[in-house]
A and B are shown apart, each in its own frame.
Chain A
């Protein structure tokens, strides 16, 4: 019976996915040439590994939302992976806490070259309200090299996607 209900619900719902945003080069941490060659070779296929370095979980809400049907990210080649060893991009949230500093460094090291780091959200960008303290190292760039900064508390799904797309259109860091 459930399958009949599911099919009828799918029929009624239709397709809600929307076209993706363009890459936003203004989010790049430093001015770098967009690399058309990378796009040509890889298309936009990119594997993302999320790392929570101490966030309040607000940014995670929007990463989840990005995985919802409106954004259809797998349809444009963006996929979230379970391990940094499978990732091209590290999507890092939170101010980096002292208790996660080692874990973040190790995750960065475990990610194969070439790789990009996107610092996601106000805390990752600047340290936010938490700043630097006995327990917090502040912004993500204080701990690992950052390629793209997406501000916002939390940034909305389309901004997150624009940041990821901006990152993968630049020459990646190697052996950082």
Chain B
């Protein structure tokens, strides 16, 4: 490792490329810098209240590096829980640090931006909901938030939201514009904060899986799989092979239907209603097939700790095989139309550019990252079973505009169709769920799954009573939202919906 830091990296049970270790607060900065110099990224940052375990507080950081995912735990002082700011090394740390302050009172010293993030007016600055001794909130009443102001002749502000004009999630966007060119966009999120992390505390492990799946409904399978992976790793349990292959089937169907939906909406946003109707027609046939064969249009609650709740029957395999064939043929036709359509290409090309350099500096992840040359895909580089046998091909573009994000979706949808076919052909026989071993000691684990939007991480700690003690789900929208602020710069306001849709980030997933 860089900077010659001695590390004892402990591999997690069942998941080779996830490494866990204790990192002293004094070495945090050097370690983060080392990861950055090596070309790695900060994936997630969160905290935990460990006072009831005799451990003060802890800061958790997860890094993506050449060896896989490194999960570092840093002990912090019980009375003055503080750690050195990481946002000057990894800018994506900024909002996660502010949220950790709001929820747990862990302070990043010397951080440039110390404004609140998830806390609006529902609880006060000195109350911390994720502390174990948090009782009832004392609302602040007024929610004052200092936006960054752009000044100068002819500059004016357009405030948008939290309730938006379309069928989308709530958040606030503050545009500073001259004419209709955007000089600055500042996001204010946190509106859908429903106390999800606190809700996990004390839950049984099975109910926790259902809640994890509702962190961001469109990434249900990604979150439940990551959650179950964390639970199984904590309890040193291994689900049957058939269950892992079925989880991959569910995850690829989720990726496919989300990409189809987004491709439809991208057409809609450039006034090609034809695109919307065609892609959503195909999506609907998949949703109905899922309902017929797995009992739920979005496969909710099909992944459970220890395996899966629904098996694949032979007739279902036939249906999905036929659907895969027809969808591949139709997808090719429709993607050709998008490529050939002058109006579509005129709006897509050169719009909402995130350059590879900016993407690398800011830690852009997932499909948006791959549209800006950020070649990370856990299914390709650090494949958990069964992906280690599937040889996933990575989709990569480098123009970083709406066109690139649309193309990555098209390529990934095609690749998902191929993976679904391979899974249907090679699905191992045998049981598809196994009871989890009980535990009477404290256990924890981390799950990491490449969802359709990007890397999803879930940290699970199970207490001595077998109930959940701390769960932190991480959605890649955390690091991708700030890139939307940069991608819109210099574009015109009317292109914002298109650029926003090309990222299609989750509000609920990052508001928690």
Name A's B-contacting residues (CB within 8 A).
1-2, 5-6, 9-10, 13, 16, 50-65, 67-70, 80, 82-84, 94-95, 97-100, 103, 107, 128-131, 133-136, 153-154, 156
* In the complex with contacts A100-B192, A129-B210, A69-B163 CB distance below 8 A: no
Chain B minimum-CB-distance residue to A129: B211
What are 5 A-B residue pairs whose CB atoms fall within 8 Å in the complex?
A65-B283, A97-B194, A98-B122, A103-B163, A129-B210
Max chain A CB contacts within 10 Å: which of B166, B170, B207, B284?
A: B170
Contact check, B340 vs A2: say whether CB atoms are below 8 A apart: yes
The 9 closest A-B pairs by CB, nearest first: A58-B217, A135-B195, A98-B122, A68-B280, A82-B165, A2-B341, A56-B217, A2-B340, A56-B214
Per-position binary interface string of chain B over residues 242-283, scored 1 when its CB falls under 8 Å from any chain A CB and 0 otherwise:
000000000000000000010001000000001011101101
Residues of B within 8 A of A107 (CB): 163
Contact check, A156 vs B297: say whether CB atoms are below 8 A apart: yes
Chain A minimum-CB-distance residue to B345: A2
Residues of A within 8 A of B136 (CB): 134
* In the complex with contacts A129-B199, A154-B217, A60-B194 CB distance below 8 A: no
How far in angstroms is the closest Cβ of chain A from B290? 12
Residues of B within 8 A of A55 (CB): 169, 192, 217, 508
**B233 touches A (CB below 8 Å):** no
**B334 touches A (CB below 8 Å):** yes
How far in angstroms is the closest Cβ of chain B from A127? 10
Contacts A55-B217, A57-B506, A134-B198 known; list 12 others, CB within 8 Å.
A2-B340, A10-B274, A54-B191, A54-B192, A57-B217, A60-B217, A98-B193, A103-B162, A129-B211, A135-B193, A135-B194, A135-B198
Residues of B within 8 A of A57 (CB): 169, 216-218, 506-508
Per-position binary interface string of chain B over residues 333-345, scored 1 when its CB falls under 8 Å from any chain A CB and 0 otherwise:
1101100111010
**B196 touches A (CB below 8 Å):** yes
Contact check, B281 vs A99: say whether CB atoms are below 8 A apart: no
A54 contact from B166, B194, B283, Cβ within 8 A: B194
Max chain A CB contacts within 10 Å: which of B136, B217, B341?
A: B217
Cα of A80 to Cα of B167 in the assembled complex, Å: 9
Contact check, B281 vs A13: say whether CB atoms are below 8 A apart: yes
Contact check, A6 vs B129: say whether CB atoms are below 8 A apart: no
Cα of A100 to Cα of B298 in the assembled complex, Å: 26
Residues of B within 8 A of A51 (CB): 163
* In the complex with contacts A57-B169, A60-B168, A136-B194 CB distance below 8 A: yes
Cα of A69 to Cα of B281 in the assembled complex, Å: 6
A65 contact from B134, B190, B287, Cβ within 8 A: B287
Residues of B within 8 A of A10 (CB): 274
Contact check, A69 vs B217: say whether CB atoms are below 8 A apart: no
Contact check, A97 vs B217: say whether CB atoms are below 8 A apart: no
Contact check, A134 vs B283: say whether CB atoms are below 8 A apart: no
